[in-house]
Structure 1
Amino acid sequence: MQPAQLAIPCVAALGLLLFVSGFFVSVTRARFWTLHAGANDPAHALTKAVRAHGNTAEYAAFLALLIWLAGQHSQAAWVGWTMLAATVSRYAFVAGMLLSPTLAKPHPLRAVGAFGTYLCGPALCVALLLG
C-alpha cells in the first residue's frame, strides 16, 4: 500500500470523525436540553459523546499531520498500513466509547483503539525520522 495514496483519505477520515463527533455532541446536548448534564455520570450519553469527541480532538489533528508528512516522505509499504491502522484505531476508540454501557468499565473496541493509537502514532514518528 503506497503511503502517498492513503494520506489524503486517512486525513479526511480523521477530519470527518472530529466534525461528526462534534456535531453528535451538539445533537446529544439538544436531545437532553442541556449544556452540561451527565458530566459526572460515566453512563450518561452526553458524557460519552463529549469524551469521545474530546479524545478525538486530542489525537486526530496530530495523527493527521503525521499521516500527511509520512505519506509525502516515505515509500515503505509498512507506513501505508500504519497510516490506515491509525485511522481505523481512532474510529474503533470512538465506537468503543459510544457503545460502552459506561465509561467506568473497559470496552474491547475502546481498548483496541487506544492500543492501536499508542502503537501507530510513535511508528509514524519513526517513519518520519527514517525519511
Structure 2
Amino acid sequence: MPDMLHMDTLPKGCVAALALLLFLLSVSITVVRLRTKMLAGAPDDPTRLLAKLVRAQGNTAEYAAMLAVLIVMHGAAPRPAWVSTMMALAVAARVVFAAGMLLSPSLARFNIIRAVGACGTYVAGIALALALVIR
C-alpha cells in the first residue's frame, strides 16, 4: 500500500472526506436514536429520518472503503489529470447520494439527486479500478 505521508493533498482530502461522511452519518444515527428512543434496528417507514440515515450510512459504508483504497492506490504516484478528476468525482458523488437519501420525502420513491450520486459513484469507481489495470 502506498505511503499516505507522501501523497499530495487531493487523495488525502478525498479519503478524509469519505471518512468524515461515514462518521458524521454514524453520529447522526446515534443522535436520532437517542431522541427517538429507538436504540436498535430501523423503522420500516421509508419516510422516517432514522430509516433514511441508516440506509445512507450503510450505503456509504459499502462504497467508501473501496473508493478510499482506489484513491490511496493512485495517490502516491504521478497520475493523469483524469484520474484526479475521478477521485474528486467519487467523493462528490457519495456526498450527493447521501444528500439525496436524506432530502428525499421517501426512500420508496425515485429521487434524481440520489440517482445522480449513484451514477457518479459507479462511473468514478469503475474508472479508478480500470486505471489501476492500465497503469
The two structures share one fold, judged by TM-score above 0.5: yes
Where does residue 37 of structure 2 map in the other structure? 33
Task: Supply the distance in 2 between the matched residues of 1:74 and 1:109 (Cα, whole angstroms).
Answer: 33
Q: Match for residue 19 of structure 1?
A: 23
Question: Which ranges in structure 1 are unaligned for 5 or more consecutive residues?
Answer: none
Instruction: Report deviation, 1:37.
Output: 6.6
TM-score normalised by structure 1 residue count: 0.92
Q: How many matched pairs? A: 129
Q: Please identify runs of 4+ aligned residues in structure 1 that moved more than 3 A.
A: none
1:10 to 11, 14, 34: 14
In the alignment, residue 67 of structure 1 is paired with which amino acid?
I
Q: Paired residue for 1:60?
A: 64
Q: 2:51 aligns with which of 47, 51, 57?
A: 47
- What's 1:80 paired with? 84
Give the TM-score normalised by structure 2.
0.90
Structure 1 contact 96–107 (Cα < 8 Å) conserved: yes
Please say if residues 74 and 127 of structure 1, whose CA atoms lie closer than 8 Å, have aligned partners that are also in contact: no
Aligned counterparts of 2:107 and 2:30: Cα–Cα separation in 1: 19
Q: Do the aligned partners of 1:74 and 1:128 also contact (CA within 8 Å) in 2? A: no
Which of 111, 115, 125 is the aligned partner of 1:111?
115
- Return the match for 1:125 from 105, 129, 135: 129
> Which stretch of structure 1 is more off in the superposition, 32-41 or 48-57?
32-41
